[in-house]
Amino acid sequence: MSVVINSDSVLDIEQHFKVAAGPGAGKTHWLVNHIRNTLHKSGRLGKTRKIACITYTNTAVEAITRRLGPSAIQVEVSTIHAFLYKHVVKPYIMFIDPAYGLDVSSVDGHDDKIASGYQFLADWKNATKQTALRDDAAILEAFKSARWRFDASGILVVEPDYPRTSSGYSIKKPSYRVYKSMAWQKGIMHHDDVLFFSYDLIKNNSSIVDILRAKFPYFFIDEFQDTNPIQVAILKLIGESDTIVGIIGDKAQSIYAFQGAKYDTFDSFNLVNMESYTIEDNRRSTDEIVGILNLTRSDISQSSIRGASGIAPNVVVAGDFMSGLIKCQVACGDEELHTLSYANKVANSLKRSLSPDSFDSKALDELLKKDAPSSANKYRSRIIYNFIVAIELIREQKFADAFKALSKIYKKGDADGKKKSLNDLLVLLGRYESFKNDSLYNFYLIIKDELFYDVSVLRMGGVKTYYESKVYSDMASCVIATEENGLCKTIHKAKGDEFDNVVVIFEKETELSFFLENNMEREEHRIKYVAISRAKNRLFIITPNLGEKNKQGLMSLGFAII
């Protein structure tokens, strides 16, 4: 049975705990206070013994660290991948089974870089006996989607969420494991591989988990609903003895199924003598918005702590998103609106004031398909592609992501190449207005003839025609920052944020069933729940159509129709 607490409640620091808390409940406030209380009361901490605090995003890491202030020196606040790489993979990399073929001397951190190149793919096709696969872009997309998961017998296997094809042929499941082996031989470690190797090391070397327990007598995990089964298995091994484990989360905000997270993970996680608690407060939203939130779920009924009565949430009927957004802005006057959507293409098109219907979300990826990078053309499109990505990320002030894109232009360890690409990036930023509305071919000429990149000449033919037919701005619209801070975001990137006024884009009227069905087992409903719960004062839902039945249903829930 779960005990109801609030964000200021004090719990026993030597007890495993599970705290369920809905949006706006103040769970981060509670977690920071619990950490401070543990630092103050515990006799098990010292210079080499810290509290581990794991959360899901770098933004959340920064927020918790900032709230802890000087106390953060005794707390390891980190994402799960960064923590495991630092404390398991990196220090014990020599214990990784040689049978995996990982070139440990070449490993330099972990990222999402996919091994590619004409020869690499040719070798992979030969090794897996799939030489009939010609669509290299589809193969690379399949590699990108593959992740580690437990099979029915508890063995870790790597495969995508659904079968992938190339040139009309199915990609064989065992061939993803071959890809991993070939990448490891080059010292490439993907983010997901950190989980694979950490689990393997911990499971097969009991001394490693003993050392982790000794270094971290307390292990707290925020946003636990976003963990996947491999992470859960690792945490259970750590929590079997000595270390106190505490988890905080909300199953209704579990929206990362594509990364392996499961809806029932929070409820099913348990350790011996673990106590369960619930925070039922909502300190964020108006009474009207909290009322809507309570109608969409049955497990937690939140109480509005603000006691602020505001304006009824609005459903805005508009044939296109831009006109709907204008209606919302008129209703809000001079106040800022934050627009949230499920699809990247909608968020990006709204950022650039484009119509989503005319926005080609795959234009940039199509470049690599139409002009496949290879040694024959001196990887022409890869250079063009990564300069576009770097330019647009810099313009979004995403410097780390921009530099990561640039690193794919020069060879690893090439200091001169790195310096040149950085200088060239500055040149291109200075000339942005001159090429942003011009053809991709013109941008290519700048790269080749003015910045002197050694890429093949575009002569007559389909590839040149393609470059001439595309506008740079079309490509730029496809660039997505890994973490956004603008007024238009995807719902996944807005998780953890809160805004005064929120507009949520529903692309189809059928999506309004979210408000009428009360079924949080459906992930699409949980995604919408996360979106509407970001709103503090005003909430707008834009839908392209609204039938009479849905209209009456929504009005009965407290919505006003515009």
Rounded Cα gap, residues 261 and 225, in angstroms: 7
- By the 8 A CB rule, do 73 and 53 touch? no
State the Cα angle at 94 between 91 and 96, rounded to 5°: 105
Residue 397 has which token pair?
């002030």
Sign of CA dihedral 247, 253, 256, 260: positive
- Between the alpha carbon of residue 393 and those of residues 353, 403, 472, 489, 512, the distances in Å are 18, 9, 15, 15, 34
Buried b (16+ CB within 10 A) or exposed e, 498-513: bbebbbbbbeeeebbb
Helix residue ranges, H only, 156-247: 174-185, 191-204, 206-215, 229-238
Secondary structure (H, E, C), 309-336: CCCCCEEEECCCHHHHHHHHHHHHCCCC
- By the 8 A CB rule, do 312 and 560 touch? yes
Place of tokens 């009456």: 552
Rounded Cα gap, residues 176 and 473, in angstroms: 35
Rounded Cα gap, residues 119 and 125, in angstroms: 10
Rounded Cα gap, residues 502 and 499, in angstroms: 6
Which residue ranges are tagged as binding site for ATP?
A: 21-28
- By the 8 A CB rule, do 111 and 403 touch? no
Which residue ranges are tagged as binding site?
A: 21-28
Buried b (16+ CB within 10 A) or exposed e, 330-346: ebbeeeebbbbbbebbb
Backbone torsions φ then ψ of 560, nearest 5 degrees: -105, 140
Rounded Cα gap, residues 555 and 544, in angstroms: 17
Rounded Cα gap, residues 256 and 423, in angstroms: 38
